[in-house]
Amino acid sequence: MSNHEHQDSKHQPVQRKEMSRRQFLSYTLGGTTAFMVGGTVLPMVRFAVDPLLAKGGESTLVKVIEESKVTAEPQEVKFKVRQVDGWYKSETEKVAWISRDASGAIFALSPVCKHLGCTVFWNTHGRNEYDCPCHDARYSRDGKNITVANLPLDEYVVEIQDGFVYLGGIIANTRA
């Protein structure tokens, strides 16, 4: 047994610190493969994850007026909504009547009459109501339908940031 062991150690190849031929080949081969895979796959991955890296997409909210300028008396504000959705681009001008309620909360109404789509105005007849010039539909300060129309005026989503009022999409009236 001891003899056998002795023989084994005798035949052991000389230990060298250098890289073996096999190792060198597998590194070269692995490196080349990694380079080729990386070269083809990385552009594709970058292509696919673009939405993540696109700088904070313009929020759909639009800054319209300073918070401090909004009073209990409704005011008309006009604003442009620009939407870029891939290859679809659109820009629409919108109008909102913005005011504070009794508790001081800000809300914004869309002045499109729910009857036949004319544009209503605040207080044209001195009744502190929204009046429609076309068929005399009337809406309260909160947009509640009083005559002619069957539904209250729509509202805009309102958000307040750093002293400015931002308006978003149209929602059904929540106040009337």
Partner 1 sequence: MKFSEIEAEQWDELKPYVDTCLLPITGLDGTETPSEATNYLEQLRDVMDLVEIPYRGRIVTYPAYHYVYGNEGSQQAIARCCANLKSQGYKYIILITSKSDIMFQINEADLWIAPTEDGNLPSDVEISRKIRELWHS
Partner 2 sequence: MFKKVYNWIDERLDITPLWRDVADHEVPEHVNPAHHFSAFVYCFGGLTFFITVIQILSGMFLTMYYVPDIIHAYASVDYLQHQIPFGKIVRGMHHFGASLVIVMMFLHTLRVFFTGSYKAPREMNWVVGMLIFFIMLGLGFTGYLLPWDNKAYYATKVGVEIAASVPYIGEYIASFLYGGDIVGAQTLTRFFAIHVFFLPGALIAMLAAHFIMIRRQGISGPL
Binding status of residue 124 toward partner 1 by CB under 8 A: yes
Specify the residue, 45 or 172, whose C-beta has the smaller distance to partner 2.
Answer: 45
Binding residues among 75-134 for partner 2 as defined by CB under 8 A: 86-87
Q: CB–CB of 113/119 below 8 Å?
A: yes
Total chain residues near partner 2 (CB under 8 A)? 11
Burial of 107 (0-12, 13-18, 19+ CB in 10 A): buried
We find the least distance from the C-beta atom of residue 113 to partner 1, in angstroms, to be: 6
The contact mask relative to partner 2 for 32-61 (x = CB under 8 A, - = no) is: --------xx-xx-xxx-x--x--------
Specify the residue, 82 or 135, whose C-beta has the smaller distance to partner 1.
Answer: 135
Which does residue 72 bind out of partner 2, partner 1, none, counting CB within 5 to 8 angstroms by kind? none
Specify the residue, 42 or 157, whose C-beta has the smaller distance to partner 2.
Answer: 42
Binding status of residue 21 toward partner 2 by CB under 8 A: no
Coil, helix or strand for 155? strand
Please give the sequence-ordered ranges of beta strands (E in DSSP) within 29-68, or none if there are none: 62-66
Q: 146: Cβ–Cβ under 8 A, 6 or more apart, which residues?
A: 129, 137, 138, 139, 140
The C-alpha angle with vertex 142 and arms to 141 and 145, in degrees rounded to 5, equals 90
